[in-house]
Chains A and B, each alone.
Chain A
Amino acid sequence: MAASLEARVGPLALPSPAMLASGILGISTRVFGRLLDAGAGAVVTKSLSVEAWEGYANPTVIGAPGGGWLNAVGLSNPGAAEFARMLRAEPAVPAIVSLVGSEPGDFARMVAEFGGCNVIAYELNLSCPHVARVGLEVGDDISLVESIVRATRAASGVPVMAKVGLGTANYLDTVGAAAAGGADAITAINTVRAMAIDAEAARPTLSNAFGGLSGAPIKPVALRCVYEIASRHDIPVIGCGGVSTWEDAVEFVLAGACAVQVGSALAGGNMGVFGEINAGILRYMERKGHKSVQEMVGLAKK
């Protein structure tokens, strides 16, 4: 039997383990189609909120000194209801819908908007590091995390993933709370809270001052988190943070991830990165004699 790229995230089967990360290119179903054609195993939408949000003023995304990117886009999105209308018109495009909110009712209400849409899973954004009262501020509130996951799980007929990041709480406790609330999988990690100051202008460059660092510089941090989560909790983990090459993807799988998400590596219009990652993983599997992605998960821990 030839090696297969199929990835299993709990009950979810994906054609490849490399998914589009939330926040990247996630507003157009036409672009989703192009990414899936390019080899993405799944696409995660931008985080959707109950109301439409414009996000912060520019500068919202800048290159980071030392590599990677800094962003404080501010969760701009057209709102869950408007987005659901767009998804409903494209039933051939499967989507993992990312949701952001402040309380359980927000999430349950948004899930109800997606009737008739081709939603294969929800991902709860408990980790955006630069918007007040949502994201990481929610992820740091352990009891709120459990109730949000439980409410979403009850409202949803498809798997629910919780995306965690590095805030003020111990993220492993956030993972535990999400698992207790019935999460089907954990996505780890989000961008890491960071900033840039321009010496000549003598002020922060991002309009919001604080943003999140993404890309290659955070990969070793994300890899450590995935390894720790997979060691402490019995729940599927999706690795996210600086995945740019097939080697990165394989390392995350060996650390315990059943799939990975790709974001910053798409900079410069590099949608071909999905095909490169898929081809590289397959070559690696054939060279090492692995038949499935699943049998590689967590091998570095053994």
Chain B
Amino acid sequence: MPKSDIPSARTVLSVADETPTVRTLEFEDAALARAEPGQFAMVWVPGAGELPMSVMVSDIAGRAAFTVRTHGPSSRALYGVREGGIIGVRGPYGNSFDAKTDSALLVGGGTGLVPLMRLITRLPAGARIGLAMGSRTADEVLFEGRARALAEKREIRIEVATDDGSRGVAGTAVDAARLLLDSGRYAAAYTCGPEPMMAALVGEAAARGVPAQASVERVMKCGVGICGSCCMDDRLVCCDGTVFGGDYLASSADFGRAWRSKSGAAVPF
């Protein structure tokens, strides 16, 4: 199934509330159903905007999903799409996590957990899984049951962190990840979420000799390597990423430090 660069209309078939601010919208799309973890689609809400979204898994064959937090104008519009509503999708775009490991530590903040859910489905049958998840509050904890279900028969250990300490460790996903990293039971780390959190995680993993991969988010306009909005150093997050290796990220002048605004100006995190 080739990717499409032209927005293709899709009917939203189901809408599920994940938390008070996060919803998952499912739809049929053969190409996005087979997206690799870390790949994204550009999602058009007619009349309201278009935004890059990591492709969420669906339990139903041939379906894909987007899990969106209501935040800015475009995400608020996508969050507001009801069952039967029309969205336009193009993609999938970008590269993906390398899932070849026998023991994976997954570290996600908020909706950054989306590509990590898809990654669970791609990890080897016997892989051991650790999952550190960060949320603002206990109400906003996301995908805990989903992760256990996707892990099937594989061992999965979950640590939760909340910004306000209302559940689990008080802090970010990195604080939860430390508990798992220190066990020495994980050979590879995978992360997606707020960039300062990911930068901290890449550092913590490197300090323990654990190779890390991070799925990076930037302002995206084209998604296809034309506009340059998503540049990080001399890379394009849309085409060279979204997933980058920890060695490169540790040497990056931009990762965890600055992103480009809609005008293209560098903005510190």
Residues of A in contact with B (beta carbons under 8 Å apart): 24-28, 30-31, 33-34, 46, 52-55, 57-65, 69, 71, 73, 76-79, 82, 86, 196, 198-201, 203, 205, 207, 263-264, 266-270
Complex Cα spacing A25 to B226, Å? 6
A199 CA to B44 CA, complexed, in Å: 14
- Given known pairs A59-B44, A203-B47, the reply for A79 and B263 (CB within 8 Å) is yes
Q: Is the CB of A198 within 8 A of B7?
A: yes
Instruction: Check B228 against A78 for contact (C-beta < 8 Å).
Output: no
Contact B4 A198 (CB under 8 A): no
- A30 adjacent to B234 (CB under 8 Å): yes
Inter-chain CA distance A65–B263, complex, in Å, is 28
Contacts of B4 in A (CB 8 A): 63
CB distance from A29 to the nearest CB of B (A): 9
- The one of B9, B46, B226, B229 in contact with A266, judged by C-beta atoms closer than 8 angstroms, is B226
User: B46 to A82, Cβ gap below 8 A?
Assistant: no
Across the interface, do B229 and A27 meet the contact criterion of CB distance under 8 Å? yes
Question: How far, in whole Å, are A201 and B8 apart by their CA atoms in the complex?
Answer: 10
A177 to B222, CA, bound (A): 34
User: 5 pairs across A/B with beta carbons < 8 Å?
Assistant: A26-B228, A63-B90, A69-B226, A77-B263, A264-B226
Which residues of chain A are near B222, meaning CB under 8 Å?
60-61, 71, 267
Evaluate whether A62 and B6 lie within 8 angstroms (CB atoms) in the complex, with A55-B263, A268-B225 already known.
yes
Interface string of B18-56 (1 = CB under 8 A from A): 000000000000000000000000101011011100000
* Contacting residues, chain A, for B224 (C-beta < 8 A): 61, 267-268
CB neighbours of A63 from chain B (8 A): 4-6, 90
On whether the beta carbons of B50 and A58 are closer than 8 Å, the reply is: yes
Query: Given the complex of chains A and B, what is the CA–CA distance between A203 and B44 in angstroms?
Result: 12
Task: Tell me if B240 counts as interface (CB < 8 A to partner A).
Answer: yes
* Contacting residues, chain B, for A78 (C-beta < 8 A): 261, 263-265
What are the 4 A-B residue pairs with the smallest beta carbon separation, nearest first?
A: A63-B5, A269-B239, A200-B9, A61-B222
User: In the complex the two chains form, what is the Cα distance from A200 to B12 in whole Å?
Assistant: 13
Q: Please give the distance in Å from A149's CB to the nearest CB on chain B.
A: 26
Q: Is B263 a contact of A52 with CB atoms below 8 Å?
A: yes
Q: A207-B49, A269-B225, A269-B239 are in contact. Are A28 and B9 (CB under 8 A)?
A: no
Q: Does B233 contact A (CB under 8 A)?
A: yes
Partner among B6, B51, B74, B264 whose Cβ is within 8 Å of the Cβ of A76: B264
CB distance from B268 to the nearest CB of A (A): 14
Interface residues of B (CB under 8 A from A): 4-7, 9, 42, 44, 46-47, 49-51, 73-74, 86, 88, 90, 221-229, 231, 233-234, 236, 238-240, 260-266
* Smallest beta-carbon distance B248→chain A, Å: 13
B129 to chain A, nearest CB (A): 31
Complex: how many Å from CA A63 to CA B7? Answer: 8
A61 in contact with B227 (CB, 8 Å): yes
Chain B residues lying within 8 Å of A71, measured Cβ to Cβ, are 222, 226-227
**What is the bound-complex CA distance between A58 and B7, given in angstroms?**
12
- Chain A proximity of B54: nearest CB distance (Å): 16
Q: Which residues from chain A contact B86 at a C-beta distance below 8 Å?
A: 200-201
Give the shortest distance, in Å, between B224 (CB) and chain A (any CB). 5
Q: How far is the CA of A219 from the CA of B264 in the complex (A)?
A: 29
Q: How far is the CB of A74 from chain B (nearest CB, A)?
A: 10
Q: Which residue of A lies closest to B221 (CB)?
A: A60
Interface centre among A31, A59, A86 (most CB of B within 10 A): A59
Q: A61-B221, A78-B265 are in contact. List 9 more A-B contacts (CB 8 A).
A: A24-B227, A25-B228, A26-B228, A58-B49, A61-B227, A65-B6, A76-B262, A76-B263, A198-B88
Q: Is the CB of A55 within 8 A of B221?
A: yes
Q: Which residues of B contact A76 (CB under 8 A)?
A: 221, 229, 262-264
A33 in contact with B226 (CB, 8 Å)? no
Q: Is the pair A30, B236 in contact by a Cβ cutoff of 8 Å?
A: no
B263 touches A31 (CB 8 A): no
Residues of B within 8 A of A34 (CB): 234
When chains A and B are docked, how far (Å) is the Cα of A63 from the Cα of B93? Answer: 13
Residues of B within 8 A of A270 (CB): 225
* A contact residues around B264 at 8 Å (CB): 27, 46, 76-78
Tell me the smallest distance from the CB of A58 to a CB of chain B, in Å. Answer: 4
Residue of B nearest to A32 (CB): B234
Measured between beta carbons, the chain A residues less than 8 angstroms from B262 are 54-55, 76
**Structural contact, A205 and B88, CB atoms closer than 8 A:** yes
User: Is there an interface contact between A201 and B9, defined as CB atoms closer than 8 Å?
Assistant: yes
B9 touches A58 (CB 8 A): no
CA distance A62 to B221 in the complex (A): 9
Inter-chain CA distance A34–B240, complex, in Å, is: 13
A73 near B239 with CB under 8 A, answer no
Please tell me if the beta carbons of A30 and B233 are within 8 angstroms of each other in the complex: yes
